[in-house]
Amino acid sequence: MKKYWRLLQPDINAVENIRGELECNHATATILANRKIISKDAARRFLKPSLNNMRPPCSIKNMDAAVKRIYSAITDHEKILIFGDYDVDGITATAILFEFLHYTGADVSYYIPHRTKEGYGLHTKHITDYAMPNGINLIITVDCGSSSNNAVKTAQYSGIDVIVTDHHEISDKPPPAVAVLNPKCSDFHILAGVGVAFCLLICLRKHMRDNHFWQNRPEPNLKNLCDLVALGTVADMVPLVDENRVLVKTGLEMINTGDRCGIKTLIEYSGTKNNSVDEEDIAFRLAPRLNAAGRIDHASAAVELLTTNNLKTAKQLAQSLSSMNIKRHNIEQEIMEDIFEYLNNNQYLLKNSSLVLSDNKLGNMWHEGVLGIVASRMVKKYFRPVVLVAIKEGVGKGSARSIPGFNIYKGLMSCSDLLETFGGHSMAAGLKIKAENMDAFQKNFENAVQKMTSPDNFVQTISVDYELDFDDISEDLINELEALKPFGTGNDEPLFMAKNVRVIDSKIVGKNHRRMLLKQPDSRMGNSFNAICFNVDTNKNQQENFNQIIFKLRWNHWNGGKTAQIIVEHIL
């Protein structure tokens, strides 16, 4: 897939204003302007996010009804069931709600469905086979429930109230719950499921304060839950702006200074450095281990890890999750190789605007628990919407992932007559389909993608923030870049461009990473910098001179010290 790049050109006056107000590097001011942060107040809120800057979550639709019903359940000692999803977002949302309600003395328990045996979301069987026999009075869903109309109706008829907290797309007819809290219906539309649950707790705590509930016990500090909120928010890849930026920034501070037994143990088993965990560590080290529980076995193990205070239990669980993660990775690799071989033999499929594949056509059975990860990797490689389906006994369960510019939920909606169920949001979704409908679905989905996109949507463009000569790289600049964290969706790590770069020294480290010493021959100061380029083709002769490179700039921490390091992303 050919990639194009463009150097962003923000308003010069805006850049100079920010630079003057903040007394920062010109590159930093340019990056802020590129992100439409052009006022002094906006820049300061961005650079120093605080929980005090969050908008009042009471403005989320139906919040008042949800808070009053939960408070009633607590004070009347009703049985409360938290029903969560099996990914990190759902796991962490379950954990914070359970921890808070347990602290209040509520009669609370949680239920996480088995990914492969029960599937996504609240179903009628969960009401009839679990909630009713266990005398549940109130169900609170987290990170699911927006499309669980039949289940909510069954609960309603059975005398069980339901509160839905979710962030996935909501149908025209929401479930008949006591309250449906979904940021899609408010100004908080970017929140992850755990963010919605956290907002609920902010409002619930205040309601309990207003009713003098905390007279006989200390009022809980919700900041202590932000470590879990950060895990779920980063893992779910929602935009790291506004409230999400505040929650993740605060959560990372809690992870690095807090004493939550499960997280500290998970950090240890993941090989992450203590006290220096960042959003990248969450995304690539911690979250995959938590997700592995639901993909390979049962997600309840991850909830138990995050809520336990027993070090021995935490170590056993963290070790188990790490083993599951290795197994998950191996399964994922097998499916990827299966798909690559199939596409190599059926290259006409790559002429389509989408890729829809099922295991019954490839010959090997797929593990449905890892299809979302594989689909994401396929999107990254081929840059088009991908749907992967594992079929068993005539019924397929699949995961769909998209590219910017195509709302995959709307794409599935246009094919809903061929689907048993589906749900999700613009970039990711899940579905259930009969095997006999796969061919028609593949055709109709491809037509939907073509109708809802333009050729420009399939051109992958790399946005470069700033042309940076090596002479202008300094400690102050890198420290200012650190202040722009956390990076992620909606706040990408800044990309720089440099011209006429020469390799002074290099060697291959690991299997296929090239470590280099780089300099610009026409540099006034003659500065050289350590650099790394990941996943190079070691069978090819390595270039010694680059006309242009696109790179990231970070501190490389080693043996208590730090040095500037260039991470080469693209060679032009």
Residue with tokens 């962003």: 8
User: How large is the C-alpha radius of gyration of the chain?
Assistant: 25
Question: 141 and 212 share a domain?
Answer: yes
What is the identity of the amino acid at 467? Answer: E
Over residues 232-253, mean pLDDT: 95
User: Which residues touch 279 (CB under 8 Å, ≥6 apart)?
Assistant: 230, 234, 240, 248, 252, 485, 486, 487, 488
Question: 138 and 36 share a domain?
Answer: no
Question: 116 and 196 share a domain?
Answer: yes
Residue 185 lies in a domain: yes
Question: 526 and 513 share a domain?
Answer: yes
Confidence band for 2, pLDDT divided at 50, 70 and 90: low
Residue 233 lies in a domain: no
Over residues 223-250, mean pLDDT: 95
Dist. CA 51–CA 122, nearest whole Å: 32
Supply the pLDDT for residue 169.
82
Question: Residue 170: is its pLDDT beyond 90?
Answer: no
Over residues 181-187, mean pLDDT: 84
Question: Residue 424: is its pLDDT beyond 90?
Answer: no
Among 174, 198, 222, the domain-final residue is: 222
Question: 25 and 164 share a domain?
Answer: no
**pLDDT digits 0-9 by tens, 428-476:** 999 999 999 999 999 999 999 999 999 989 988 899 999 999 999 999 9
- Secondary structure of residue 96 in the 3-state scheme: helix
Question: 194 and 104 share a domain?
Answer: yes
Question: 414 and 444 share a domain?
Answer: yes
Question: 374 and 466 share a domain?
Answer: no
**CATH code assigned at 174:** 3.90.1640.30
Residue 278 lies in a domain: no
State how many domains the chain has.
4
Question: CA torsion, points 400, 402, 406, 407, in degrees to nearest 10?
Answer: 50
Residue 296 lies in a domain: no
Residue 401 lies in a domain: yes
Give the 3-state secondary structure percentages of the chain, helix then strand then coil, rounded to 5. Answer: 50, 20, 30
Q: Are 391 and 437 in contact (CB under 8 A)?
A: no
**pLDDT digits 0-9 by tens, 319-365:** 999 999 999 999 999 999 999 999 999 999 999 999 999 998 887 89
Question: 114 and 198 share a domain?
Answer: yes
Question: 98 and 151 share a domain?
Answer: yes
For residue 383, count CB atoms less than 10 angstroms from its CB and return exposed for 0-12, middle for 13-18, buried for 19 or more. middle
Domain that holds residue 486: 462-572
Supply the pLDDT for residue 173.
85
**CATH code assigned at 514:** 2.40.50.460
Residue 2 lies in a domain: no
Among 222, 255, 287, the domain-final residue is: 222
Question: 480 and 551 share a domain?
Answer: yes
**CATH code assigned at 438:** 3.10.310.30
Residue 295 lies in a domain: no
Residue 439 lies in a domain: yes
Question: Residue 268: is its pLDDT beyond 90?
Answer: yes
Supply the pLDDT for residue 426.
87
Dist. CA 201–CA 222, nearest whole Å: 8
**pLDDT digits 0-9 by tens, 358-408:** 998 887 899 999 999 999 999 999 999 999 999 999 999 999 999 999 999
Distance of CA 484 to the CA centre of its chain: 19
Supply the pLDDT for residue 1.
60
Dist. CA 498–CA 569, nearest whole Å: 12
Question: 218 and 109 share a domain?
Answer: yes
**pLDDT digits 0-9 by tens, 534-559:** 989 888 888 999 999 999 999 988 87
Supply the pLDDT for residue 122.
96
Among 425, 460, 495, the domain-final residue is: 460
Give the percent of the chain with pLDDT over 90. 83
Handedness of CA 44, 47, 51, 56 (dihedral sign): positive
Averaged confidence pLDDT in the chain: 94
